[in-house]
Structure 1
Protein backbone atom coordinates (compact mmCIF):
# COMPACT_ATOMS: atom_id res chain seq x y z
CA UNK A 1 0.00 0.00 0.00
CA UNK A 2 1.14 3.54 -0.78
CA UNK A 3 0.38 6.37 1.67
CA UNK A 4 1.98 9.47 0.23
CA UNK A 5 2.56 13.15 0.97
CA UNK A 6 3.32 15.48 -1.94
CA UNK A 7 5.31 18.56 -0.88
CA UNK A 8 6.05 21.65 -2.95
CA UNK A 9 5.33 25.34 -3.04
CA UNK A 10 2.07 26.54 -4.67
CA UNK A 11 2.33 26.01 -8.42
CA UNK A 12 4.96 23.26 -8.18
CA UNK A 13 2.72 20.82 -10.06
CA UNK A 14 1.32 18.75 -7.20
CA UNK A 15 -2.18 18.67 -8.70
CA UNK A 16 -1.04 17.38 -12.10
CA UNK A 17 1.25 14.82 -10.48
CA UNK A 18 -1.55 13.68 -8.17
CA UNK A 19 -3.89 13.00 -11.10
CA UNK A 20 -1.32 10.77 -12.76
CA UNK A 21 -0.55 8.92 -9.52
CA UNK A 22 -4.26 8.32 -8.87
CA UNK A 23 -4.74 7.01 -12.42
CA UNK A 24 -1.96 4.44 -12.06
CA UNK A 25 -2.09 3.45 -8.39
CA UNK A 26 -5.80 4.10 -7.63
CA UNK A 27 -5.04 6.08 -4.48
CA UNK A 28 -7.50 8.52 -2.92
CA UNK A 29 -6.37 12.11 -3.47
CA UNK A 30 -6.96 14.22 -0.37
CA UNK A 31 -6.44 17.93 -0.97
CA UNK A 32 -7.03 20.15 2.04
CA UNK A 33 -7.48 23.01 -0.42
CA UNK A 34 -10.38 21.18 -2.10
CA UNK A 35 -11.91 20.34 1.29
CA UNK A 36 -11.76 23.96 2.39
CA UNK A 37 -13.06 25.28 -0.95
CA UNK A 38 -16.08 22.99 -0.60
CA UNK A 39 -16.63 24.27 2.94
CA UNK A 40 -16.28 27.87 1.73
CA UNK A 41 -18.71 27.30 -1.14
CA UNK A 42 -21.22 25.91 1.38
CA UNK A 43 -20.47 28.86 3.71
CA UNK A 44 -19.96 26.60 6.70
CA UNK A 45 -18.40 28.00 9.87
CA UNK A 46 -15.03 26.38 9.19
CA UNK A 47 -15.25 27.39 5.53
CA UNK A 48 -15.75 31.07 6.31
CA UNK A 49 -12.94 30.98 8.87
CA UNK A 50 -10.60 29.36 6.36
CA UNK A 51 -11.56 31.91 3.67
CA UNK A 52 -10.45 34.82 5.84
CA UNK A 53 -6.93 33.36 5.87
CA UNK A 54 -6.76 31.97 2.31
CA UNK A 55 -7.90 35.22 0.64
CA UNK A 56 -4.90 36.98 2.20
CA UNK A 57 -2.51 34.25 1.12
CA UNK A 58 -2.01 33.06 4.70
CA UNK A 59 -2.15 29.54 6.09
CA UNK A 60 -5.18 28.06 7.80
CA UNK A 61 -4.47 27.35 11.53
CA UNK A 62 -3.64 23.80 12.59
CA UNK A 63 -6.69 23.46 14.82
CA UNK A 64 -9.00 24.06 11.84
CA UNK A 65 -7.17 21.66 9.54
CA UNK A 66 -6.11 18.64 11.65
CA UNK A 67 -9.61 17.48 12.61
CA UNK A 68 -10.76 17.78 9.00
CA UNK A 69 -7.83 15.63 7.82
CA UNK A 70 -8.40 12.94 10.46
CA UNK A 71 -12.09 12.67 9.58
CA UNK A 72 -11.20 12.37 5.90
CA UNK A 73 -8.53 9.68 6.43
CA UNK A 74 -11.03 7.71 8.50
CA UNK A 75 -13.52 7.40 5.64
CA UNK A 76 -14.05 4.01 3.93
CA UNK A 77 -12.81 5.05 0.47
CA UNK A 78 -9.20 5.10 1.78
CA UNK A 79 -8.70 1.42 0.94
CA UNK A 80 -5.88 1.39 -1.63
CA UNK A 81 -3.88 4.19 0.02
CA UNK A 82 -3.92 7.98 -0.11
CA UNK A 83 -2.13 11.09 -1.35
CA UNK A 84 -2.12 14.02 1.06
CA UNK A 85 -1.83 17.36 -0.73
CA UNK A 86 -1.60 20.56 1.33
CA UNK A 87 -1.11 18.93 4.75
CA UNK A 88 1.13 18.92 6.66
CA UNK A 89 2.72 22.34 6.08
CA UNK A 90 4.72 22.57 9.32
CA UNK A 91 6.60 20.22 11.63
CA UNK A 92 3.85 20.74 14.22
CA UNK A 93 1.29 19.52 11.67
CA UNK A 94 3.63 16.66 10.72
CA UNK A 95 3.66 15.54 14.36
CA UNK A 96 -0.15 15.82 14.48
CA UNK A 97 -0.36 13.72 11.31
CA UNK A 98 1.95 11.12 12.81
CA UNK A 99 -0.53 10.74 15.66
CA UNK A 100 -3.47 10.58 13.25
CA UNK A 101 -1.89 7.88 11.07
CA UNK A 102 -0.98 5.79 14.12
CA UNK A 103 -4.52 5.99 15.50
CA UNK A 104 -5.95 4.98 12.12
CA UNK A 105 -3.17 2.45 11.37
CA UNK A 106 -2.44 4.16 8.05
CA UNK A 107 1.28 5.11 8.28
CA UNK A 108 3.08 7.14 5.63
CA UNK A 109 5.18 5.20 3.13
CA UNK A 110 6.59 8.07 1.03
CA UNK A 111 7.11 11.85 1.08
CA UNK A 112 7.92 13.43 -2.30
CA UNK A 113 8.96 17.08 -2.68
CA UNK A 114 8.61 18.83 -6.06
CA UNK A 115 11.26 21.57 -6.34
CA UNK A 116 10.62 24.61 -8.59
CA UNK A 117 12.25 28.07 -8.50
CA UNK A 118 10.30 31.16 -7.41
CA UNK A 119 10.18 32.96 -10.78
CA UNK A 120 8.67 29.89 -12.44
CA UNK A 121 6.11 29.53 -9.63
CA UNK A 122 4.93 33.15 -9.89
CA UNK A 123 4.59 32.80 -13.67
CA UNK A 124 2.64 29.53 -13.35
CA UNK A 125 0.28 30.67 -10.59
CA UNK A 126 -0.56 34.05 -12.10
CA UNK A 127 -1.64 32.23 -15.28
CA UNK A 128 -3.93 29.78 -13.45
CA UNK A 129 -7.74 29.90 -13.70
CA UNK A 130 -10.60 27.58 -12.71
CA UNK A 131 -14.01 26.42 -13.86
CA UNK A 132 -16.67 28.15 -11.78
CA UNK A 133 -18.96 25.12 -11.94
CA UNK A 134 -16.73 22.13 -11.07
CA UNK A 135 -13.41 23.65 -9.95
CA UNK A 136 -11.27 22.10 -12.71
CA UNK A 137 -7.92 23.93 -12.93
CA UNK A 138 -6.39 25.35 -16.13
CA UNK A 139 -3.32 27.41 -16.99
CA UNK A 140 -2.85 30.01 -19.75
CA UNK A 141 0.71 28.76 -20.25
CA UNK A 142 0.43 24.99 -20.09
CA UNK A 143 -3.15 23.73 -19.84
CA UNK A 144 -5.90 25.54 -21.74
CA UNK A 145 -9.32 23.88 -22.22
CA UNK A 146 -9.41 21.63 -25.31
CA UNK A 147 -12.38 23.63 -26.61
CA UNK A 148 -12.12 27.40 -26.14
CA UNK A 149 -14.14 28.73 -23.19
CA UNK A 150 -15.50 25.24 -22.41
CA UNK A 151 -14.49 23.16 -19.38
CA UNK A 152 -13.07 19.75 -20.33
CA UNK A 153 -14.59 18.14 -17.25
CA UNK A 154 -18.15 19.49 -17.02
CA UNK A 155 -18.72 21.55 -20.18
CA UNK A 156 -19.22 24.78 -18.20
CA UNK A 157 -18.43 28.16 -19.75
CA UNK A 158 -17.70 30.34 -16.70
CA UNK A 159 -14.15 30.66 -15.40
CA UNK A 160 -12.49 32.69 -12.66
CA UNK A 161 -9.14 33.34 -11.01
CA UNK A 162 -8.84 32.53 -7.32
CA UNK A 163 -7.99 35.47 -5.07
CA UNK A 164 -4.85 33.66 -3.92
CA UNK A 165 -3.63 33.21 -7.54
CA UNK A 166 -3.47 36.95 -8.23
CA UNK A 167 0.17 38.16 -8.55
CA UNK A 168 0.21 40.38 -5.47
CA UNK A 169 -1.09 37.54 -3.28
CA UNK A 170 1.08 34.88 -4.96
CA UNK A 171 4.30 36.50 -3.71
CA UNK A 172 3.03 36.49 -0.13
CA UNK A 173 1.88 32.88 -0.42
CA UNK A 174 5.31 31.77 -1.60
CA UNK A 175 7.09 33.59 1.25
CA UNK A 176 4.77 32.04 3.85
CA UNK A 177 5.09 28.54 2.38
CA UNK A 178 8.85 28.65 1.77
CA UNK A 179 9.55 29.66 5.36
CA UNK A 180 7.91 26.45 6.58
CA UNK A 181 8.86 24.07 3.78
CA UNK A 182 12.52 23.53 4.71
CA UNK A 183 11.94 22.35 8.31
CA UNK A 184 9.22 20.01 7.03
CA UNK A 185 11.55 18.44 4.48
CA UNK A 186 14.18 18.06 7.20
CA UNK A 187 11.59 16.34 9.43
CA UNK A 188 10.84 13.67 6.82
CA UNK A 189 14.46 13.38 5.68
CA UNK A 190 15.41 12.31 9.20
CA UNK A 191 12.67 9.66 9.09
CA UNK A 192 14.01 8.31 5.79
CA UNK A 193 10.79 9.05 3.90
CA UNK A 194 11.78 12.02 1.70
CA UNK A 195 12.56 12.00 -2.03
CA UNK A 196 13.25 15.31 -3.87
CA UNK A 197 12.19 15.56 -7.53
CA UNK A 198 12.87 18.36 -10.04
CA UNK A 199 9.50 19.99 -10.75
CA UNK A 200 10.95 22.17 -13.55
CA UNK A 201 10.77 19.16 -15.88
CA UNK A 202 7.82 18.32 -18.12
CA UNK A 203 4.81 16.81 -16.31
CA UNK A 204 5.60 13.51 -18.07
CA UNK A 205 9.18 13.43 -16.77
CA UNK A 206 8.09 14.49 -13.27
CA UNK A 207 5.65 11.58 -13.14
CA UNK A 208 8.25 9.18 -14.53
CA UNK A 209 10.55 10.10 -11.62
CA UNK A 210 7.69 9.75 -9.10
CA UNK A 211 6.66 6.41 -10.60
CA UNK A 212 10.20 5.09 -10.17
CA UNK A 213 10.01 5.90 -6.45
CA UNK A 214 6.50 4.52 -5.86
CA UNK A 215 6.97 1.34 -7.89
CA UNK A 216 9.48 0.18 -5.28
CA UNK A 217 6.55 -0.13 -2.85
CA UNK A 218 4.61 -2.51 -5.03
Structure 2
Protein backbone atom coordinates (compact mmCIF):
# COMPACT_ATOMS: atom_id res chain seq x y z
CA UNK A 1 0.00 0.00 0.00
CA UNK A 2 1.05 3.58 -0.66
CA UNK A 3 -0.09 5.70 2.27
CA UNK A 4 0.27 9.28 3.47
CA UNK A 5 -0.11 9.84 7.21
CA UNK A 6 -1.43 13.22 8.37
CA UNK A 7 -2.51 14.73 11.66
CA UNK A 8 -1.71 17.61 14.01
CA UNK A 9 1.37 17.78 16.24
CA UNK A 10 0.92 15.38 19.15
CA UNK A 11 -1.34 13.01 17.21
CA UNK A 12 1.25 10.24 17.52
CA UNK A 13 2.14 10.10 13.82
CA UNK A 14 5.71 8.91 14.37
CA UNK A 15 4.66 6.14 16.72
CA UNK A 16 1.79 4.97 14.53
CA UNK A 17 3.89 5.22 11.37
CA UNK A 18 6.42 2.78 12.81
CA UNK A 19 3.78 0.25 13.85
CA UNK A 20 1.75 0.53 10.65
CA UNK A 21 4.80 0.24 8.42
CA UNK A 22 5.85 -2.91 10.26
CA UNK A 23 2.35 -4.43 10.09
CA UNK A 24 2.05 -3.62 6.39
CA UNK A 25 5.67 -4.59 5.55
CA UNK A 26 6.39 -1.28 3.85
CA UNK A 27 9.10 1.32 4.59
CA UNK A 28 8.34 4.28 6.84
CA UNK A 29 9.56 7.42 5.08
CA UNK A 30 9.72 10.51 7.29
CA UNK A 31 10.82 14.00 6.29
CA UNK A 32 13.34 14.11 9.13
CA UNK A 33 14.94 10.84 8.03
CA UNK A 34 15.11 12.09 4.43
CA UNK A 35 16.96 15.23 5.45
CA UNK A 36 19.36 13.40 7.75
CA UNK A 37 20.13 10.68 5.19
CA UNK A 38 20.75 13.10 2.32
CA UNK A 39 22.85 15.48 4.42
CA UNK A 40 24.97 12.69 5.93
CA UNK A 41 25.56 11.12 2.49
CA UNK A 42 26.41 14.50 0.98
CA UNK A 43 23.96 14.19 -1.92
CA UNK A 44 23.29 17.21 -4.10
CA UNK A 45 19.85 17.58 -2.53
CA UNK A 46 21.37 17.16 0.93
CA UNK A 47 23.89 19.92 0.25
CA UNK A 48 21.10 22.21 -0.95
CA UNK A 49 18.97 21.46 2.11
CA UNK A 50 21.89 22.03 4.49
CA UNK A 51 22.68 25.39 2.92
CA UNK A 52 19.12 26.60 3.49
CA UNK A 53 18.98 25.18 7.02
CA UNK A 54 22.36 26.67 7.99
CA UNK A 55 21.10 30.05 6.82
CA UNK A 56 18.01 29.66 9.00
CA UNK A 57 15.70 29.40 5.99
CA UNK A 58 13.00 26.88 5.10
CA UNK A 59 14.02 24.17 2.66
CA UNK A 60 12.16 24.80 -0.65
CA UNK A 61 9.43 22.38 -1.65
CA UNK A 62 11.32 21.22 -4.74
CA UNK A 63 14.25 20.02 -2.63
CA UNK A 64 12.01 18.10 -0.23
CA UNK A 65 10.04 16.64 -3.13
CA UNK A 66 13.25 15.57 -4.84
CA UNK A 67 14.40 13.72 -1.72
CA UNK A 68 11.02 12.01 -1.32
CA UNK A 69 10.92 10.97 -4.95
CA UNK A 70 14.43 9.49 -4.79
CA UNK A 71 13.49 7.53 -1.67
CA UNK A 72 10.24 6.22 -3.15
CA UNK A 73 12.20 4.96 -6.18
CA UNK A 74 14.37 2.67 -4.06
CA UNK A 75 13.76 -1.10 -4.33
CA UNK A 76 12.25 -1.55 -0.85
CA UNK A 77 9.53 1.00 -1.67
CA UNK A 78 8.38 -0.55 -4.93
CA UNK A 79 5.62 -2.49 -3.17
CA UNK A 80 4.45 0.50 -1.17
CA UNK A 81 5.48 3.03 1.46
CA UNK A 82 4.17 5.14 4.29
CA UNK A 83 4.93 8.88 4.08
CA UNK A 84 5.11 10.71 7.41
CA UNK A 85 5.58 14.49 7.48
CA UNK A 86 5.28 14.82 3.71
CA UNK A 87 3.44 16.39 1.99
CA UNK A 88 3.13 19.38 4.35
CA UNK A 89 1.09 21.66 2.08
CA UNK A 90 -1.12 21.55 -1.00
CA UNK A 91 1.69 22.42 -3.42
CA UNK A 92 3.70 19.45 -2.13
CA UNK A 93 0.61 17.24 -2.37
CA UNK A 94 0.07 18.29 -5.99
CA UNK A 95 3.76 17.66 -6.77
CA UNK A 96 3.50 14.22 -5.17
CA UNK A 97 0.40 13.45 -7.25
CA UNK A 98 2.29 14.42 -10.42
CA UNK A 99 5.40 12.43 -9.47
CA UNK A 100 3.42 9.28 -8.75
CA UNK A 101 1.35 9.67 -11.91
CA UNK A 102 4.53 9.97 -13.99
CA UNK A 103 5.68 6.68 -12.47
CA UNK A 104 2.33 5.04 -13.24
CA UNK A 105 1.29 4.58 -9.60
CA UNK A 106 -1.02 6.32 -7.15
CA UNK A 107 -1.76 6.57 -3.45
CA UNK A 108 -4.04 3.98 -1.90
CA UNK A 109 -5.07 6.02 1.13
CA UNK A 110 -4.40 9.11 3.22
CA UNK A 111 -4.80 8.29 6.90
CA UNK A 112 -5.87 11.27 8.99
CA UNK A 113 -5.24 10.91 12.74
CA UNK A 114 -7.88 13.07 14.40
CA UNK A 115 -7.21 14.51 17.87
CA UNK A 116 -9.05 17.40 19.63
CA UNK A 117 -6.88 20.51 19.96
CA UNK A 118 -7.08 20.56 23.76
CA UNK A 119 -5.82 16.98 23.86
CA UNK A 120 -2.89 17.91 21.62
CA UNK A 121 -1.92 20.71 24.01
CA UNK A 122 -2.30 18.38 27.00
CA UNK A 123 -0.16 15.66 25.40
CA UNK A 124 2.73 17.92 24.39
CA UNK A 125 2.73 20.51 27.17
CA UNK A 126 2.68 17.73 29.78
CA UNK A 127 5.93 16.15 28.60
CA UNK A 128 8.95 16.29 30.88
CA UNK A 129 12.47 15.33 29.78
CA UNK A 130 15.41 14.21 31.91
CA UNK A 131 18.37 16.60 31.77
CA UNK A 132 20.78 13.66 32.05
CA UNK A 133 19.27 11.57 29.25
CA UNK A 134 16.69 12.87 26.77
CA UNK A 135 15.53 9.29 26.19
CA UNK A 136 13.97 9.36 29.66
CA UNK A 137 10.58 10.95 28.97
CA UNK A 138 7.68 11.33 31.38
CA UNK A 139 4.27 12.99 31.33
CA UNK A 140 2.60 14.82 34.18
CA UNK A 141 -0.70 13.03 33.47
CA UNK A 142 -0.06 9.83 31.51
CA UNK A 143 3.28 8.62 32.89
CA UNK A 144 4.13 10.75 35.90
CA UNK A 145 7.43 10.14 37.74
CA UNK A 146 7.25 8.71 41.25
CA UNK A 147 8.66 11.98 42.60
CA UNK A 148 7.62 15.20 40.88
CA UNK A 149 10.47 16.71 38.86
CA UNK A 150 12.80 13.71 39.37
CA UNK A 151 13.66 11.04 36.77
CA UNK A 152 12.69 7.53 37.92
CA UNK A 153 15.59 6.03 35.95
CA UNK A 154 18.63 8.07 37.00
CA UNK A 155 17.43 10.70 39.47
CA UNK A 156 18.10 13.57 37.06
CA UNK A 157 16.06 16.76 36.97
CA UNK A 158 13.01 16.75 34.72
CA UNK A 159 12.22 19.83 32.66
CA UNK A 160 9.84 21.08 29.97
CA UNK A 161 11.45 21.86 26.62
CA UNK A 162 10.79 25.36 25.26
CA UNK A 163 9.04 23.93 22.19
CA UNK A 164 6.73 21.92 24.46
CA UNK A 165 5.27 24.99 26.18
CA UNK A 166 1.55 25.59 25.69
CA UNK A 167 2.22 28.86 23.84
CA UNK A 168 4.57 27.15 21.38
CA UNK A 169 2.24 24.19 20.90
CA UNK A 170 -0.65 26.50 20.01
CA UNK A 171 1.59 28.32 17.50
CA UNK A 172 2.51 24.99 15.95
CA UNK A 173 -1.18 24.15 15.70
CA UNK A 174 -1.83 27.46 13.92
CA UNK A 175 0.84 26.56 11.36
CA UNK A 176 -0.72 23.11 10.95
CA UNK A 177 -4.21 24.54 10.41
CA UNK A 178 -2.92 27.09 7.89
CA UNK A 179 -0.41 25.05 5.90
CA UNK A 180 -1.02 21.33 6.34
CA UNK A 181 -4.70 20.87 7.12
CA UNK A 182 -5.79 22.02 3.61
CA UNK A 183 -4.27 18.83 2.16
CA UNK A 184 -7.06 16.93 3.91
CA UNK A 185 -9.63 18.51 1.60
CA UNK A 186 -7.27 17.95 -1.34
CA UNK A 187 -7.23 14.20 -0.69
CA UNK A 188 -10.87 14.02 0.38
CA UNK A 189 -11.80 15.29 -3.08
CA UNK A 190 -9.86 12.36 -4.55
CA UNK A 191 -11.70 9.86 -2.36
CA UNK A 192 -8.48 8.87 -0.57
CA UNK A 193 -9.12 10.19 2.93
CA UNK A 194 -9.53 7.74 5.81
CA UNK A 195 -10.09 9.47 9.17
CA UNK A 196 -9.78 7.75 12.53
CA UNK A 197 -9.68 8.88 16.14
CA UNK A 198 -6.15 8.89 17.57
CA UNK A 199 -7.43 8.85 21.15
CA UNK A 200 -6.69 5.85 23.34
CA UNK A 201 -3.78 3.48 23.82
CA UNK A 202 -1.15 3.14 21.09
CA UNK A 203 -2.15 -0.43 20.20
CA UNK A 204 -5.83 0.54 20.09
CA UNK A 205 -5.12 3.32 17.61
CA UNK A 206 -2.95 1.01 15.50
CA UNK A 207 -5.71 -1.64 15.39
CA UNK A 208 -8.25 1.05 14.51
CA UNK A 209 -6.02 2.30 11.69
CA UNK A 210 -5.38 -1.17 10.27
CA UNK A 211 -9.09 -1.97 10.25
CA UNK A 212 -9.92 1.34 8.55
CA UNK A 213 -7.23 0.85 5.87
CA UNK A 214 -8.34 -2.74 5.19
CA UNK A 215 -11.99 -1.65 4.96
CA UNK A 216 -11.05 1.16 2.60
CA UNK A 217 -8.99 -1.16 0.44
CA UNK A 218 -11.80 -3.71 0.26
CA UNK A 219 -14.23 -0.96 -0.77
CA UNK A 220 -11.92 0.10 -3.61
CA UNK A 221 -11.43 -3.47 -4.87
Instruction: Considering Cα pairs closer than 8 Å and 6+ residues apart, tell me whether 1 or 2 has the greater RCO.
Output: 1
CA distance in 2: counterparts of 1:74 and 1:199, whole angstroms: 30
Identify the range of structure 1 (121-130 vs 110-119) with the bigger mean alpha-carbon deviation.
121-130
Identify the range of structure 1 (85-94 vs 28-37) with the bigger mean alpha-carbon deviation.
28-37
CA distance in 2: counterparts of 1:137 and 1:83, whole angstroms: 28
SS, match of residue 24 in structure 1? helix
Post-superposition Cα deviations, 1:177-200, rounded to whole Å, max 9, x if no partner, equal 111334211111111100111112
SS, match of residue 84 in structure 1? strand
CA distance in 1: counterparts of 2:84 and 2:37, whole angstroms: 15
- TM (norm. structure 1) is 0.75
> Equivalent residue for 1:49?
52
* Residues 215 and 136 (structure 1), Cα distance of their counterparts in 2 relative to 1, 3 Å cut: farther
1:40/1:48 contact within 8 Å kept: no
1:40/1:50 contact within 8 Å kept: no
SS, match of residue 65 in structure 1? helix
SS, match of residue 77 in structure 2? coil
CA distance in 1: counterparts of 2:160 and 2:51, whole angstroms: 19
Give aligned pairs, total: 202
> Equivalent residue for 2:148?
none
- TM (norm. structure 2) is 0.74
| Superposition pairs of residues 7-156 of structure 1, within 5 angstroms | 7-37=6-36, 44-50=47-53, 52-53=56-57, 60-126=59-125, 127=127, 138=137, 140=139, 142=142, 148=153
1:124/1:139 contact within 8 Å kept: no
